[in-house]
Structure 1
């Protein structure tokens, strides 16, 4: 049972990369090789999965739950971007603002995801060597 749980968690942790690649290839085929639009749509889909994957990765590696921190930073990014949009434009356009916030969340979560992976690999190597 423990092995099955480990496999399921492993799949959930690797899922964002797989989802990004599959959705990128799907949209590239659907949109007739429009790479920029395909990349954006794949990033939009992957962002949702990254929210869960980052939390699961951190919990798996260190046994601590940082979902509140992840959500708080995401809300802070949204508030800052809304404030900047409010200060620079006369009227806030909600859909473009939400799209920019969502893509910024993708960048933030992708960076955190990569850092967690690198730290996890380094910890595993150190544990294996010692």
Structure 2
């Protein structure tokens, strides 16, 4: 049973798109809300898996550990968004700010994940050809 759980968790971390679709289908089925709401919740769940996926993918492809860099960039995004929120609004509303930060993290990590995979695939194809 432990091995099945480990394989499922490993697949969800390695392929967060599967995590996104599973979460979307579950939220869509059980919450009976609009598709936009289910999409947002699925993105929130997937963000957690993307943190690990990007770090593991880069570590596997190039043998470099970027955990500290990923955490630093995430904190910088949070700091910049908090500063912008502080400058544009009279009062900072914490929950909406955290939600926006988390969703920007999703976009950032999703883009990095796709770039890493595309570069990795191209790199391996070029190694295979030569």
2:90 matched residue in structure 1 = 90
Unaligned runs of 5+ in 2: 1-6
1:13 matched residue in structure 2 = 14
How many residues are matched?
A: 123
Separation in 2, partners of 1:10, 1:121 = 20
Structure-2 change in CA distance of 1:126 and 1:10 (3 Å)? farther
1:123 matched residue in structure 2 = 123
Tell me the TM-score normalized by structure 2. 0.89
Structure-2 change in CA distance of 1:9 and 1:127 (3 Å)? farther
1:41-96 alpha-carbon deviations (Å, 9 max, x no partner): 00000000100000000000000001111111100000000000000111100000
Separation in 1, partners of 2:102, 2:72 = 15
Separation in 2, partners of 1:10, 1:127 = 26
Deviating beyond 6 angstroms after TM superposition, the runs of 4 or more aligned structure 1 residues are: 7-10
1:4 matched residue in structure 2 = none
Separation in 2, partners of 1:53, 1:42 = 16
5 Å matches for 1:30-49? 30-32=30-32, 34-49=34-49
Separation in 1, partners of 2:33, 2:99 = 22
Unaligned runs of 5+ in 1: 1-6
Deviation, structure 1 residue 8: 8.7
Q: CA RMSD in A?
A: 1.7
Deviation, structure 1 residue 31: 2.7
